Copies of this chain bind each other. A is one copy, B any other.
Amino acid sequence: MLTIGKLGASAGVKVPTIRYYEQIGLLPEAERSAGNQRLYSQKALERLAFIRHARDLGFTLEAIRDLLSLSDQPDQPCAAADAIVIAQLAEVESRLARLGALKVELQRILTQCAGGKIANCRVIEALGDHSLCATDHRYPGLGATI
C-alpha cells in the first residue's frame, strides 16, 4: 500500500491533483489508514498512470473518464476507444494548422519592425489591423487547451 505522496511520486502527479481527481470521481475513494490517511494499491497506481499519460497526450478529463470506463469493460469492442483517440487526433491536427498560421503571421509581423519608436511601429499597427495579415488566422472560440 502506498501513501498519497508515494503514489504521486510514482505516477508523476502532484498530491493535490490526486485528491482533486478523487473529488471529481476520476479516481475511486481511497481506502484509509487508522489515522485517516489515504492508502493506494498497485491498481490505483496503474489507473493514475493511465490518467497522467492520457493527460500528457492532451486528452481532457472527460475523455479520460470515458476511456477509463471503457477499460473497465474488457468485452466491449475497441471502436469506442478508437473513436475517442481519433477525435483527439483531429483536435491536435486542427490546432497544429492554426498554430502554424499563427507562427507565420507572428514572424511576418516581426520582420516589419524597423526598430524605431512605437508611434510608427509596424508591430503595433499589424496587431491592430487584421487586414494587414497575410493569412486568415481567425478563430471563433479561443481558449482551447494545449
Contacts and interface: CB of A to CB of B under 8 A. Distances in A.
A106 B88 contact: yes
Most chain-B Cβ atoms within 10 A of its Cβ — which of A56, A70, A77, A143?
A: A56
A79 B115 contact: yes
Interface in A20-64: 46, 49-50, 53-58
Contact of A53 (B81, B85, B130): B130
A54 B113 CA distance: 17
B107 A77 contact: no
Contacts of A121: 71, 78, 81
Contacts of A127: 50, 53-54, 57, 67, 85
Size category, A interface: 35 or more
Contact of A78 (B50, B54, B77, B116): B116
Chain A contact surface mostly: helix
A129 to B, nearest CB: 7
Contact of A118 (B77, B114, B124): B77
State the 8 A-B residue pairs at the shortest beta-carbon distance, nearest first. Answer: A74-B119, A50-B128, A89-B106, A78-B121, A71-B124, A76-B118, A81-B123, A92-B103
Interface of A: 12, 46, 49-50, 53-58, 67, 70-71, 73-79, 81-82, 85-86, 88-89, 92-93, 95-96, 98-100, 102-103, 105-107, 109-110, 113-119, 121, 123-124, 127-130, 137-139, 142-146
